[in-house]
Amino acid sequence: MIHCITPDEAAALLKDGDMVLAGGNGGSGVPEAVFEAIERRWLAGDGPHGITLFHITGVGALTEKGLCHFAHKGLVRRVVGGNFGMQLPFMKLVLDQELEAYNFPQGVMTHLCRAMAGRQPGVLTHVGLETYMDPRQDGGRMNARTTEKLVELVNIGGKDYLFYKAPGVPSVALIRGTSADEDGYVSMEHEATAREDLSMAQAVHNAGGTVICQVKRLVKRGTLNPHMVKIPGFLIDHFVVQPDQMQTYTTQYDPARSGETIVPSSSIPPDPMDARRVVARRAAFELRPRDVVNLGVGISAMIPNVAAEEGIDEMITLTVESGAVGGVPGHAREFGTSVNPRVILDQSYQFDFYDGGGLSCAFLSFAQVDRHGNVNVTKFGKRYDGAGGFINITQNTQRLVFNGSLTGGDFDIGVADGGLDIRRDGKFKKFVPEVDQISFSGHLARERGQRVTFITDRAVFEMEADGIVLTEIAPGVRLQEDVLDQIGFPIRISDTLKTMDARIFRLGPMGMRDAFMAQAPRHIEVPEA
């Protein structure tokens, strides 16, 4: 029989100095009841102190939930994570030098779980070269307090690689599933993501530590479908049963996100017609039949809505880092999940595919672009979000489309009469002479022959051998005042400068299906590692 305990009893098992593997992906698969109990214990003055926290990516809901429960000075000594954008109180501890902090690519993080399970010393990969992960830059260290080098540059067979060291011996795993049977076998039939919970459990079990799993319900022995079982019972020491656990931070339970039902794409409401949707609509013209696509956060996550409206969504396959393949990826607090997924892979397998160059194209966002074609999405202003899956994707996909507004901060831009109406521009420029941090290397992209496009609300740019080139401008936009003056460096204008298609700026479908179907499928060329 399995051993069930309360959330507070689970929290009491953590000891000073433990290395904790914290499950969850964004707002899905989070053992929230256990996280809440750990915070209650801390606030009661009962520790634990100085733990090392290892998490894959973005576990939180901005100012609450997830890793926000760990955002207390002294509770965490060191954090190693893939993204911090959804846990702002914890990010503040990093920026205030209150703990040691490392940010590694999301794919590296999930592969480190596998490495720790097999007692391997770390992960060797080309991912991160010539970015802030490279020890010739920051080596993934997020603040001045963080001094130990966990990333090494190595050369094998004349090629450079990065070696990401396993950050320690894990002693506690906090993971989640849907059902546990009488022998502790865990299934995930109501989960929207599969994550790397198995690898976390294996890593801690093999190190002699404690594995705690939060589940929704207990069921009889032998009633679980073996194909749905993700974690064998002998790996788990304790269970916390929470019948009301939410599927994501905004959804109690949606069977269309766990693949148990299918809803028509017409039931997904369109996004409002604004400057952001203009970018997503223009980006949709870069799709081709049979593309296998990754979509980033922000504006790029709005592209599926456009594809559905244009009737081309069934001709492409959309994927997200967390493992969903097919369907319509969610955005905002549902990011990382999909409605109507065809399959939900373990995250580590998704990144095997990404790192190997399997994607046809990828659509991502940007915070800064510089004259060299470098892109920063990780560190800007008072934020240090970290990479998530951005570096894995951008370094290994031949066709890249970066989407965003040309300026940022409190702009007022309308869409009317088939064009753009710029009533007030943003407070700061996003095309700058030098980015604050290199998340994507323009030099490496040119060296590998990647094709890179930047789509903004008012103009489209291409990265060429001699720099960034302006190729399209929106109807109703002034070239000098609205575009060139908003860029922080001289830019070349294409000899064949075009006006962006006016359909992009009008309400209703653009009628792009016929032209889309007439295109030949994309030939995938894998960038040289």
Interhelix angle for 275-284 vs 303-310, to 10°?
60
In sign, the C-alpha dihedral spanning 347, 175, 69, 209 is: negative
Residues in Cβ contact with 133 at an 8 Å cutoff, skipping those fewer than 6 apart: 104, 105, 127, 139, 140, 151, 162, 387, 391
State the catalytic residue, choosing from 321, 464, 472, 481: 321
CA gap 484, 480 in Å, rounded? 5
Token representation of residue 358: 């399997």
CA gap 359, 319 in Å, rounded? 9
Token representation of residue 234: 């002998």
Token representation of residue 126: 């080309």
CA gap 276, 383 in Å, rounded? 21
E-assigned strand segments in 326-458: 328-329, 338-339, 343-344, 361-365, 368-370, 375-376, 379-380, 383-384, 399-403, 407-408, 412-416, 419-424, 428-429, 431-432, 451-455
CA gap 477, 473 in Å, rounded? 7
Residues in Cβ contact with 464 at an 8 Å cutoff, skipping those fewer than 6 apart: none
Residue in the structure block whose two tokens are 């989070």: 30
Q: Cα–Cα–Cα angle for 136, 393, 300, nearest 5°?
A: 120
Q: Is 321 a catalytic residue?
A: yes
Residues that are catalytic = 321
